[in-house]
Structure 1
Amino acid sequence: MDDVLDGIGGGVMVVDADWRVTRANEAAAGLFGRADANLVGADVRDAFPESVESTFAGHFGGADASPSAVAFEDYFPALETWLAVRTAPVDDGMVVSLRDVTERRRLERTLADREAELERLNRINAIIQEIIRELVGATTREEIEETVCERLAASDLYEFTWVGEREATSDRVASRTAAGDSDGLLELVDDDSPDAPETPERAVLRSGETRIVRRLVEDEAVPESVRRVAFARGLQSAIAVPLRYGTTTYGVLGVYATRPDAFSDRERESLETLGVATGFVINAARQRNLLLSDTVVELTFRVTDAADVLVAASARFDCSLSVAGVVPLGEGTLLCYVAVRDADPRAVLDAAASRDGVEGGRLVHETGDDEDAQGGLFEVTLTDASPLLSLTELGATVRTATFEDGAGRLVAEVAPDEDVRAVVEAVSASFVGTELLAKRERHRSVETAQEFRSSLHERLTARQRTALRVAYHGGYFQSPRDSTAEELADGLGISSSTLHYHLRAAQWKLVDAFLRGDDSERRRGETAEWHGGSEAR
Structure 2
Amino acid sequence: MSDDPAERTDSTTGPSRGAADDKRIDGRAGRHLEIHELSTLVDDCAVAPFGPDGRVNRWNDGARRLTGYDAEAIVGDHYRTLFPPDARESDRPERVLERARSKGTAETEGWRLRSDGERIRVREAVAPIREDDEIGVPVDRTVELAGYVWIAHDRTEDYERERALREETVFAKSVFEAQPDIVYAFDADENHLEWNERVPAVTGYTDAELAEMDPLAFVAPEDRNRIAETIRRLLEVDEYVTAEAALVTKDGRRIPYEFNSARITDDDGGVLGFTGTGRDISDRKARERELERLERLNAIVRTIDETVVAAETRDEIEQAIVAEFAAADAYRFAAIGRAEPAARTAGYSWEPTAQAGIDATAVDGVLSSFVEPPADAPGVSPFETRSTQRYRHLHESPIDEWRADARERGYGAVAVVPIVATDRVFGALVVAAAEPSAFADREREVLQEFGGTVGHAINAMAVRRLLYLDTVVELEFESTDAGDSCIALSHGAGCDLSVDHVLPLTDEVFVYYLTVSDIDPDAVRAVARDTPSITELRLIDADDGESDWEVVVRDATITGLLGEYGARLQSQVVHDGVAELTVHVSLDTDLRDLVGAITSTYPDTELVSKRTIDRPIQTHGDFRRTVESILTEKQRLALEAAYHGGYFEWPTRNSDASEIADRLGIARQTFHQHLRVAQAKLLSAYFGTRDETATG
**Bucket of the pairwise TM-score, normalised by the shorter protein:** 0.7 to 0.9
Tell me the equivalent position of 2:212: 57
Distance 1:260 1:476 in 2: 63
| SS of aligned partner of 2:439 | coil
Please tell me whether residue 123 in structure 1 is matched to residue 312 in structure 2.
no
- CA distance in structure 2 between the partners assigned to 1:208 and 1:59 by the alignment: 55
Counterpart AA for 1:320: D
Matched-pair contact (CA < 8 Å) for 1:76–1:83: no
Percentage of pairs with the same residue: 32
TM-score w.r.t. structure 1 length? Answer: 0.76
The answer as to whether partners of 2:371 and 2:416 remain within 8 angstroms in 1 is no
Distance in 1 (alpha carbons) for counterparts of 2:407 and 2:535? 49
Q: Is 1:244 equivalent to 2:411 in the alignment?
A: no
* Cα gap change, 1:192 to 1:239, in 2 (>3 Å): closer
1:506 to 678, 692, 696: 678
The one-character-per-residue Cα deviations of 1:220-259 (angstroms, maximum 9, x if unpaired) are 9xx8865775576565433333323345442332323342
Decide whether the 8 Å contact of 1:398 with 1:410 is kept in 2.
Answer: yes
Q: Distance in 1 between matches of 2:318 and 2:529?
A: 38
Q: Which residue of 2 aligns with 1:515?
A: 687
For the 8 Å contact 2:492–2:527, the answer to whether it is kept is no
TM-superposed deviation, 1:282: 1.1
Secondary structure at the aligned position of 1:305 is classed as coil
CA distance in 1, matches of 2:405, 2:604: 43
Match of 2:623 in 1: 452
Q: Distance in 1 between matches of 2:515 and 2:385?
A: 36
- Which of 210, 213, 225 aligns to 2:388? It is 210
Measured against aligned partners, the alpha-carbon deviations of 1:365-386 in whole angstroms (never above 9, x if no partner) come to 3334xxxx3x322223344211
1:149 is matched with 322
1:404-419 pair list within 5 angstroms: 404-419=575-590
SS at match of 1:167: strand
Who is 1:471 aligned against? Answer: 642
Q: Do the aligned partners of 1:244 and 1:280 also contact (CA within 8 Å) in 2?
A: yes
The alpha-carbon distance between structure 1 residues 256 and 47, as it changes in their structure 2 partners (threshold 3 A), is: closer
Distance in 2 separating the partners of 1:322 and 1:218? 62
The CA RMSD measured in Å over matched residues stands at 4.2
Aligned equivalent of 1:27:
172
Q: Deviations over 1:18-67 (max 9, x none)?
A: xxxxxx55323543369xxxxxxxx96797652528624302799xxxxx
Distance (Å, rounded) in 1 between the aligned partners of 2:530 and 2:277: 66
In structure 2, the residue matched to 1:434 is: 605
Residues 60 and 314 (structure 1 numbering): CA distance in 2 closer, same or farther, change over 3 Å?
closer
Unpaired runs of 5+ in structure 2?
1-157, 180-191, 218-230, 236-241
Amino acid at match of 1:181: I
**What's the counterpart of residue 389 of structure 1?**
560
Q: Does the 8 A contact of 2:264 with 2:275 survive in 1?
A: no
How many residue pairs get matched?
A: 481
Rg: which structure is higher? Answer: 2
> What pairs up with 1:67-86 in 2 under 5 angstroms?
none
Deviation at 1:425?
2.6
CA–CA distance in structure 2, aligned partners of residues 441 and 434 of structure 1: 21
1:274-285 matched pairs, under 5 angstroms: 274-285=450-461
SS where residue 159 of structure 1 aligns?
Answer: strand
Cα deviation, residue 509, structure 1: 0.6
The equivalent of 1:305 in structure 2 is 481
- Check whether the contact 1:235–1:259 (CA below 8 A) recurs between aligned residues: yes
- Judge conservation of contact 1:244–1:278 (CA < 8 Å) in 2: yes
Going from structure 1 to structure 2, the CA distance change for 1:6 and 1:136 (only over 3 Å counts) comes to: farther
Letter in structure 1 aligned against 2:387? E
Structure 1 unaligned segments of length 5 or more: list them.
Answer: 13-23, 35-42, 63-67, 529-534
Q: 1:478 to 1:263 in 2, by over 3 A?
A: same
Q: 1:252 to 1:76 in 2, by over 3 A?
A: closer
Counterpart CA distance in 1 for 2:196 and 2:373 is: 59
Matches within 5 A, 1:78-117: 102=279, 106=281, 111-117=284-290
Is the Cα contact below 8 Å between 1:349 and 1:378 reproduced in 2? no
CA 1:121–1:82 in structure 2 vs 1: closer, same or farther (change >3 Å)? Answer: closer
Range 268-277 or range 123-132, more displaced: 268-277
Cα 1:29/1:450, change in 2 over 3 Å: closer
Which runs of structure 2 are paired with 1:124-139 in the superposition (5 Å)? 124-139=297-312
**Structure 1 416/75 Cα, relative in aligned 2: closer, same or farther at 3 Å?**
closer
The equivalent residue for 2:63 is none
Residues 302, 437 of structure 1: 8 Å contact kept? yes
**Aligned twin of 1:290:** 466
In the other structure, the counterpart of 1:327 is 503
Distance 1:477 1:76, change over 3 A: closer
